[in-house]
């Protein structure tokens, strides 16, 4: 019988998805208005023309975030989001050009001190990714459009929707509008631990629906948790390509569309369903049964070809072959397992974790004879 993946996470998807949620970058430097001293407004009626605000209260976070995002797309902007939590700090800086290009850099630092930096740049033709962790640097390029502003908008909306923000001042047309919130009901995916703390929020925006600053702070087990969104610059005509783009290797544009299954609890089948090959000398790393192995492809994995990886029954060595192995030569593979395939110039084409707990009704496919010579 064949075990199919129950959990499959592709590295590029993980990294792109890592841009959603509560995250951000450098320490905010919001300016406090000094022109006049604001006075309290009982109903906030003069602010009802701001998207999402009615009767002096933010009643529609989605509308405000959409209006704010539309202004950013039209004029361009540089924005930061900073998140502080006991287990991890995450700082992001996003530049959106009015011409459609954008650049995003995110630094994630765990409580253990380990850090990871994710950098993106996209224009009309492609999205480039660089991931740095420890002494390793990986690159990727995808042709599909990716808009990092979507992640920022989602993060901002989640944070705003959790609190009851009311207008705290009635200011002149030239002054920012300030809203405050002292009660929050964080959503499950907000990044805040629900009812375990008291959160305070302050939202500053202008009358053109552009958010200048959002700060939410609280305490969790004696430690500070915080979320800050800040408009750093507007307008921005163009997001320039970062210097690291010159280091992106040619193989970063390859998209072999690899699928992986563990068959008969005894070997891993890797199939290339895309149009691009996995180059010769690419490295396969496979971990299962508390055992890890690494092997190099002796020939390219072309479109439509398959390879089979297994741990040898005798000495546990990782073997990669173009022929389906017999049960006599393989050691059993137990869930979970992980697979990484990287080119020799540092591009990760596949990085997945898999687990299985049930059997599919499909029988293993017949021996693949389209592949090249055994590895």
Domain residue ranges in the chain: 16-233, 251-354
In CATH, the architecture of 251-354 is: Sandwich (2.60)
In CATH, the architecture of 16-233 is: Clam (2.50)
pTM of the model: 0.69
Q: Which of 92, 73, 95 lies closest to 83 in space, CA to CA? A: 92
Q: How far apart are CA 142 and CA 297, in angstroms?
A: 23
**In Å, what is the CA distance from 179 to each residue of 39, 114, 161, 229, 261?**
12, 36, 13, 14, 52
Q: Which of 58, 65, 36, 63 lies closest to 170 in space, CA to CA? A: 36
Q: Give, to the nearest 10 degrees, the angle between helix 61-75 and helix 148-161.
A: 150
214 and 242 Cβ atoms separated by less than 8 Å: no
What string of pLDDT tens digits covers the 375 residues of the chain?
343 332 222 223 333 333 322 233 333 333 333 333 333 344 445 687 899 999 999 999 999 999 999 999 999 999 999 999 888 899 999 999 999 999 999 999 998 888 999 999 998 888 899 989 887 888 888 776 678 999 999 999 999 998 899 999 766 667 889 999 987 876 665 556 555 567 899 999 998 899 999 999 988 777 888 999 999 999 999 999 999 999 999 888 888 899 999 998 999 999 999 989 999 999 999 999 888 999 999 999 999 999 999 999 989 999 999 999 998 999 999 989 999 999 988 888 998 888 876 443 233 333 332 233 334
Which SS3 state, helix, strand or coil, does residue 157 take?
Answer: helix
String of b and e for 1-36 (b: at least 16 CB within 10 Å)? ebbbbeeeebbbeebbebbbbbbbbeebeeeebeee
Q: In this structure, what token pair is assigned to residue 328? A: 């006599």
Q: How far apart are CA 311 and CA 286, in angstroms?
A: 9
Q: What is the pLDDT of residue 290?
A: 84
Q: In this structure, what token pair is assigned to residue 343? A: 């080119």
Q: What is the pLDDT of residue 190?
A: 59
Q: What is the pLDDT of residue 357?
A: 66
Q: How far apart are CA 78 and CA 97, in angstroms?
A: 8
Which SS3 state, helix, strand or coil, does residue 15 take?
Answer: helix
């Amino acid at each position: 019988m064949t075990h199919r993946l129950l959990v499959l996470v592709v590295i590029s998807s993980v990294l792109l998805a890592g841009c959603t949620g509560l995250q951000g970058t450098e320490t905010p430097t919001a300016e406090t208005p000094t022109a006049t001293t604001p006075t309290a407004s009982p109903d906030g009626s003069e602010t009802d023309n701001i998207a999402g605000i009615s009767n002096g209260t933010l009643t529609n976070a989605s509308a405000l975030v959409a209006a704010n995002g539309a202004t950013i797309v039209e004029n361009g902007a540089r924005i930061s989001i900073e998140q502080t939590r006991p287990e991890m700090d995450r700082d992001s800086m996003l530049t959106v050009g009015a011409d459609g290009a954008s650049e995003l850099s995110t630094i994630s630092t765990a409580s253990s001190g380990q850090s990871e930096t994710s950098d993106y740049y996209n224009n009309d033709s492609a999205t480039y990714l660089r991931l740095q962790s420890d002494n390793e640097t990986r690159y990727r390029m995808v042709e599909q459009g990716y808009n990092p502003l979507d992640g920022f908008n989602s993060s901002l909306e989640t944070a705003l929707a959790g609190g009851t923000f009311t207008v705290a001042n009635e200011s002149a047309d030239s002054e920012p509008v300030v809203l405050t919130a002292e009660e929050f009901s964080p959503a499950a995916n907000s990044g805040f631990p629900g009812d375990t703390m008291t959160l305070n929020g302050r939202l500053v925006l202008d009358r053109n629906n552009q958010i200048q600053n959002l700060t939410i702070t609280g305490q969790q087990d004696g430690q500070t948790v915080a979320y800050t969104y800040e408009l750093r610059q507007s307008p921005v005509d163009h997001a320039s390509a970062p210097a690291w783009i010159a280091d992106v290797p040619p193989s970063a544009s390859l998209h072999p569309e690899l699928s992986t299954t563990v068959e008969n609890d005894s070997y891993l089948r890797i199939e290339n369903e895309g149009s691009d090959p996995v180059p010769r000398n690419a490295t396969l790393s496979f971990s299962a049964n508390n055992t890890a192995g690494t092997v190099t492809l002796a020939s390219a994995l072309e479109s439509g070809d398959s390879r089979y990886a297994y741990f040898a029954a005798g000495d546990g060595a990782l073997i990669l072959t173009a022929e389906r192995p017999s049960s006599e030569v393989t050691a059993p593979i137990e869930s979970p397992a992980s697979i990484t395939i990287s080119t020799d110039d540092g591009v990760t084409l596949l990085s997945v974790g898999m687990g299985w707990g049930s059997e599919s009704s499909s029988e293993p496919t017949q021996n693949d004879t389209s592949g090249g010579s055994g590895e």
